[in-house]
Amino acid sequence: MAATIPFPKGCIRAGFQGRFKRFTVKADGPDGPITAHTNNTGSMLGLLRPGRTALFSPATNPARKLKWTFEAVRVHDFWVGINTQTPNRMLRAAFDARAIPEMRNYTEYKSEAKSGTSRLDARLDGPDGTLWVECKNVTMVEDGRACFPDAVTERGQKHLRELMDLAAQGDRVALFFLIQRPDGECFGPADFIDPVYADLFAEALEKGVEAWPFVADVDESGIHLGRRLKVKL
């Protein structure tokens, strides 16, 4: 069974204008200007160019101030998904569909699971014991290499340290990277943006943290789990 996250009904195309606040973008919609919410606080390096076609989904809560959510942007001849909630939702969809081999021997799934003083995106339990998974959204590709992060991330560095601590305690731990664009040939840390994260990532792999980079195939119907990429440091 395929792992897919459909977009809500009523999505629209609009011409991207710009990002004016941390969580706000503006665009030229089919019926006039729109102001939309974006949950992606990263730099989205190379994506947010005025005039590009963007995809917006309607808010499911009628009381929400901003009636649209920024879902994807058209780059060259493909869509790039930018919604940072998608990796968590896709991990759950992949668990339900048994789409990722490493998760097939687990029977229980808990989102936002507490570990010490922190919360990680998922905890899986089953015959193989406990598996902790942290999800990351990837939107940047440089010279065929999908890269994370697109800005310095102290939060991401903290997560790597937490995963290494869990691995040292004997738990299985993994990072699920969802690359929401099709042009990456491999995956690696963005050492040219956050060298601290890159060093910690390499250390984490040595200490048993698994990395699962998967491409997401994005179209106007939704987001579909695609092929797996190799990790190259």
Residue with tokens 């890159």: 198
What pLDDT shows up at residue 1?
Answer: 64
Among 81, 110, 140, where does a domain finish? 81
Domain end residue (candidates: 32, 48, 81): 81
Residue 39 sits in the same domain as residue 94: no
CA distance 120 to 171: 13
Tokens of 155: 């939060």
Q: Would you tell me how many other CB atoms lie within 10 Å of the CB of residue 100?
A: 19
pLDDT at 119: 85
Question: Structural domain of residue 48, as residue ranges?
Answer: 10-81
Question: Is residue 201 one of the residues assigned to a domain?
Answer: yes
For position 130, what pLDDT does the model report? Answer: 94
Q: Assess whether 111 and 194 both reside in one domain.
A: yes
Domain boundary among 23, 50, 81: 81
pTM of the model: 0.95
pLDDT of residue 108: 97
CA angle centred on 91, ends 223 and 84, rounded to 5°: 60
Which tokens is 165 given? 């601590």
- Residue 4 inside a domain? The answer is no
Tokens matching residue 195: 């060298």
DSSP secondary structure code for residue 139 in this structure: -
CATH number, domain with residue 122: 3.40.1350.60
Same domain membership, residue 187 and residue 74 = no
Residues of the chain with pLDDT under 70: 1, 117
